[in-house]
Amino acid sequence: MAADQCVHGAPPSLSAKVVGSFAYLTIRDRLPTILTKVVDTIHRNKNKFFEEYGEEGILAEKQTIGLLSKLRNELQTDKPVLALTDSLQDAESWNQYLQRHQGPQGDPESVSWFQSPWLYVECYMYRRIQEALWLNPPISDYDVFNEAKTQSYFESQQAVMALCTYWESVKKSMEELSKNQLLDNFNKLLKVSLWGNKCDLSISAGQNNSQKTSPLDSLSSLQPFILVDDSSMVWLSLISAQRPGLSGKITAGRVDIVLDNAGFELVTDLVLADFLVSSGLAREIHFHGKCFPWFVSDVTAKDFQWTIQQTMAANHMWMSKSGVQWQSYMKEGVWSYHDHPFWTQPHEFCDMAADAPDLYATLQGADLVLFKGDLNYRKLTGDRDWNYTVGFKTALQGFEPAPLCSLRTLKANVQVGLQPGQGEKLTSQEPDWMTCGKYAVIQFHSPKSEQ
Ligand code: F6P
Ligand code: MG
């Protein structure tokens, strides 16, 4: 099978083989730092493992650390990527993906950390961390990033309180809002969710990166940093999904949110989702999260439930009110949480229809899919060396299950859909504009649109 199932003639994948590139620096510096922190975290929790599992816990800690140190060594010495040896549900598809990249000759040396696509090997590192844990059963469910995620949630409490207070005040007067006021609030909360994506912990190699102030106060000063703003098309897609129901009452569409990070970003997504439902712009929301801890701060089912619980239990009236509402949306099925192994695989999304047809079909049932964050953008565009002016549709390479929108702050050097000269101008003014997290895009595509 060919290495890529997406469009032929797409530019090459970003890779650490370009010495000095962001991919190269990530693999050389950032990933080993993350692995070292994972080892430290496991080691720091040795006593906890002993209390819970006795000597078996201590042995598991030692063996897991051994496997992780071996992994770090493989990475740093550019060794071939190895097949997974655990028997988890997704191991076979990871191993098939490896074979696909080894090509028809099956050369085991041909896929390695510094020579192969960056997207592939970076995802692979997180799967190997899981393998190391899963091979040591007493601690296999231990989330090595949980401490960092929890800390980031607590450190953004002021911003969470400010956001929930604002939101509850809007909600109170929802019935009286004019269409323009509704649109204005939609724009605000969409952009708060966009800027919430600044707070991921993988770009900072696990270093705290939480939101200290409310982005609501800075939305207008942040606007010039949104390089592509298709928010009006997102709004129109919600309006055009509204249909008269049997009783003649207008029913809205289903919105899917492909989540990114836990902590403040997740709260911004929940507030946006609450707004969409309360305003009647969406009938139901499907959240998509990760099956296992991923890219340090990504949301798992546990993080999702924990965040709602914590918000409910907060000693702050508007926070807890929001949390209670979110919990009841979950109970009533207005909101639902889903995970699928494809989200924790290395594929470009244009592979989804062939490699995860069930997930593709699920997304086809949505009226709008919001993809949060940088990694989702890399996967949407295949993490390739596109010209800045290539259309978003071209870069999606046929991935169009439903109208979709990427809400992403730029943290990797892939960007499409810019105006002629825009990328070059930014490069001359600010060489690291693609990776510093200061810029953002709201980029929309509908299967019905030409561009
Ligand atoms: O480039 C930095 C990085 O670690 C990328 O590998 C990844 O795309 C991104 O950060 C994660 O960011 P996000 O949480 O927004 O997907
Ligand atoms: Mg993330």
Rounded distance from Cα 266 to ligand 1 centre (Å) = 15
What distances in angstroms separate CA 375 from CA 123, 348, 411, one per listed residue?
10, 10, 9
Q: Across the beta sheet with 253-258, what order do the strands follow?
A: 226-229, 440-445, 404-409, 368-372, 253-258, 282-289, 335-339
Q: Tens-digit pLDDT profile for the chain (451 aa)?
A: 345 567 678 999 999 999 999 999 999 999 999 999 999 999 999 999 999 999 999 999 999 999 999 999 999 999 999 999 999 999 999 999 999 999 778 788 889 999 999 999 999 999 999 999 999 999 999 999 999 999 999 999 999 999 999 999 999 999 999 999 999 999 999 999 999 998 655 554 555 555 666 778 889 999 999 999 999 999 999 999 998 887 888 899 999 999 999 999 999 999 999 999 999 999 999 999 999 999 999 999 999 999 999 999 999 999 999 999 999 999 999 999 999 999 999 999 999 999 999 999 999 999 999 999 999 999 999 999 999 999 999 999 999 999 999 999 999 999 999 999 999 999 999 999 999 999 999 999 999 876 6
Start-to-end CA span in the chain (Å): 30
Residue 442: its H or E element: strand 440-445
CA distance 338 to 173: 32
Check residue 250 and report its DSSP letter: E
Residue 229: its H or E element: strand 226-229
Check residue 224 and report its DSSP letter: G
CA distance 132 to 142: 11
Q: Which CATH architecture has domain 22-134?
A: Up-down Bundle (1.20)
Strand partners, 15: 117
Nearest CA to ligand 1 atom 8: 375
189 lines ligand 1 (CB under 6 A): no
pTM, entire model:
0.96
Q: Is the dihedral of CA 82, 86, 87, 93 positive or negative?
A: negative
Residue 76: its H or E element: helix 55-76
Q: What is the DSSP string of 136-190?
A: SGGGTT--TTHHHHHHHHHHTHHHHHHHHHHHHHHHHTGGG--HHHHHHHHHHHH
CA distance 31 to 25: 9
What is the DSSP pairing of strand 282-289 with strand 253-258? parallel
Q: Please give the pLDDT value at position 201.
A: 53
pLDDT tens by residue, 106-155: 788 889 999 999 999 999 999 999 999 999 999 999 999 999 999 999 99
Rounded distance from Cα 32 to ligand 1 centre (Å) = 15
110 burial class (0-12, 13-18, 19+ CB within 10 angstroms)? middle
CA distance 76 to 90: 26
What distances in angstroms separate CA 120 from CA 69, 139, 207, 362, one per listed residue?
20, 26, 23, 24
pLDDT tens by residue, 30-78: 999 999 999 999 999 999 999 999 999 999 999 999 999 999 999 999 9
Interhelix angle 146-155/301-313, nearest 10 degrees: 30
Nearest CA to ligand 1 atom 7: 375
Which positions ≥6 away from 315 have C-beta within 8 Å?
Answer: none
Q: Domain limits of the chain?
A: 22-134, 154-445
Q: Closest Cα partner for 269 from 324, 193, 185? A: 193
57 lines ligand 1 (CB under 6 A): no
Q: Please give the pLDDT value at position 6.
A: 72
Strand partners, 256: 286, 369
CA distance 451 to 448: 9
Residue of 15, 21, 375 to test ligand 1 pocket, by largest number of atoms within 8 Å of CB? 375
Of ligand 1's listed atoms, the one at least distance from the Cα of 295 is: 11
441 lines ligand 1 (CB under 6 A): no
The three-state DSSP-derived secondary structure of 326-358 is HHHHHHHCCEEEEECHHHHCCCCHHHHHHHCHH
Q: Please give the pLDDT value at position 302.
A: 98
Instruction: Report yes or no: 268 and 276 within 8 Å, Cβ to Cβ.
Output: no
Which CATH number does the domain 154-445 belong to among 3.40.50.10880, 3.30.365.10, 2.60.120.10, 3.30.1330.40? 3.40.50.10880
Nearest CA to ligand 1 atom 12: 374
Which residue type occupies 346? P
What distances in angstroms separate CA 410 from CA 220, 329, 434, one per listed residue?
19, 32, 5
Q: What is the DSSP string of 190-212?
A: HHHHHHHTT--STTTTT------
Q: What are 380's two structure tokens?
A: 């949407």
Instruction: Report yes or no: 41 and 144 within 8 Å, Cβ to Cβ.
Output: yes
Q: Please give the pLDDT value at position 109.
A: 80
How many other C-beta atoms are found inside a 10 Å radius of the C-beta of residue 420? 9
